[in-house]
Amino acid sequence: MAKFTPPKVVKDEEVKEEEKPPEIEKLEETKIGTVNQEGTKDEGIIAPPTEDKGGVVEAPKEDDSDKIFQKVEIDAEFPGGVAGWTRYVTREIERNIDELQDDGRSGTVVILFIVDKEGGVSEVRALPCSEAGVAKCLPPNSKLAEIAVNAIRKGPKWKAAIQNGRQVKAYRRQPVTFQLAEE
């Protein structure tokens, strides 16, 4: 290996021996590097190329077609996103506003359900306050819980959750809040 010498314009008498580039004949079978180094002649044998996947390591494939995921990379989503969900649940609440006002309770319920690979919804239920983890929680037997469970059951298909680039079956927690008008 021969050290690369960057070009520098100087007078002939100022050139140091170690700064002189090697002769052209010597460079024909020499690799250029950062230092001068003795070694064996390159026989032209090269290592096989390694397969480069761009730094992405793929997780081992396991058959999880029936597995229900608790946590996923991308959660299941109502068609139209948060804005679509808000419009849909607002219509359902307005449709049942008299019953909600008669119940006389403001608060939040958390609905737990499964969204399958095709976006179908199943096992819809309101969580008890001990599991909901929200402030001003309403119990599963409240009118708001009943309305929210029915709205999710009869609503449109959701966008399925995504895990490892594939649509999967996953749990979804959806809070629904109702606030009585202050009088």
User: 68-79: string of b/e by CB count within 10 Å (b at 16+)?
Assistant: ebeebeebbbbe
State phi, psi for 140 to the nearest 5 degrees.
Answer: -60, -20
Q: Kindly report the number of other CB atoms within 10 A of residue 138's CB atom.
A: 24
The pLDDT of residue 100: 83
* Residue 132 · residue 109 · CB < 8 Å: yes
**Residue range 133-175, pLDDT digits in tens:** 888 888 888 888 899 999 999 989 999 999 888 899 999 998 8
**Residue range 43-92, pLDDT digits in tens:** 666 666 666 656 665 655 565 667 888 888 989 999 888 899 889 988 88
Pairing of strands 166-178, 107-115: antiparallel
**pTM (2 decimals)?**
0.61
Please tell me the distance from the alpha carbon of residue 95 to that of residue 173, in angstroms, as a whole number: 23
